[in-house]
Amino acid sequence: MDVGIGLPSTIPGIRGRLVLDWARAAEEAGFSTLGTLDRIVYGNLEPISTLAAAAAVTGRIGLTTAIMIGPYRGNGALLAKQLATVDRLSEGRLTVGIAVGSRPDDFEATASPYERRGKVFDAQLAEMRAVWAGESRGYAGAIGPAPMRPGGPPLLIGGGSPAAFRRMTEYGAGWILGAGGPDAFTAAAAKARGAWGEAGREGEPRLVAIGYVSLGDEAEQHARSYLGDYYSFAGAYVDRVVGSALITQQAVADTVAGFTAAGCDELILFPANPDLQQIELIAAAAGLS
């Protein structure tokens, strides 16, 4: 199983230079990808722009939106162009984790119809596919740049609804778990594999998960401060998120082993502490060094 690491770009007040330093250090430490999270009404850095910056200072490590919300980002043509641009800048290192979203305030802030987000998302995915296939859109022809791979960067569809798995089989290269441990992954991954086979897709879907980690001094305090703020909208659920944070090296090692045994292809560990020393600590705990 590949092990990636999230950029600290969702932590409010983060210095831009630190994000770039983090990207370089993560690549040197041997992580498989750099992940970003997505919100509008919060003090995070925008994920597509952040990955473009990370692409400029790295040369090998993957870049993954884990997970980007599609429906409040407007039409699929513009989104396809933005993502294809990052794909080009990174020379084909982009993977797009994308989902329908569930926070009404983000939709309100962008004047996007929350109740119609599923239909909007379906239309976006169809338009992105058409753009990346090179369909003509006017006098100059197709919307460029052409992505590095035929069909565009691989899409990992998030969500646990029947509609999410239908979108995965129609448009995706795989599925991504937004929250939960190995047990939750096992149950949902079975549904993803089942839907993939029933749709007649060849091979297996790529299956990815994310987790939250904080190691070293004051590990629990950092996890509680960041995750408690980030998930404060979720009410009582926030305690479950904070409680699931990996705050010891053994917890990281056990979680990596659990996801590996469950057939996960990649686990992306998001930091609750932006200190650069976290990269070395997480890499060691995950067995990368």
Which band of pLDDT confidence, cut at 50, 70 and 90, is reported for residue 238?
confident
State phi, psi for 69 to the nearest 5 degrees: -95, 125
Q: Does residue 25 register a pLDDT over 90?
A: yes
Q: Which of 268, 170, 158, 260 is nearest to 213 (CA)?
A: 268
Q: Which amino acid is at 139?
A: Y
Domain that holds residue 29: 2-285
Q: How far apart are CA 173 and CA 156, in angstroms?
A: 6
CATH of the domain at 141: 3.20.20.30
Q: Which of 57, 54, 60 is nearest to 30 (CA)?
A: 60
> Which pLDDT score is estimated for 63?
98
C-beta atoms surrounding 240 within 10 Å: 12
- With tokens 């995706």, the residue in question is 172
- Would you give the DSSP letter of residue 116? G
Mean pLDDT for all residues in the chain: 95
Beta bridge partners, 65, equal 36, 96
Q: Does residue 133 register a pLDDT over 80?
A: yes
C-beta atoms surrounding 141 within 10 Å: 10
Q: How far apart are CA 70 and CA 76, in angstroms?
A: 9
Query: How many domains in the chain?
Result: 1
Q: What is the mean pLDDT of residues 193-197?
A: 97
Which band of pLDDT confidence, cut at 50, 70 and 90, is reported for residue 237?
confident
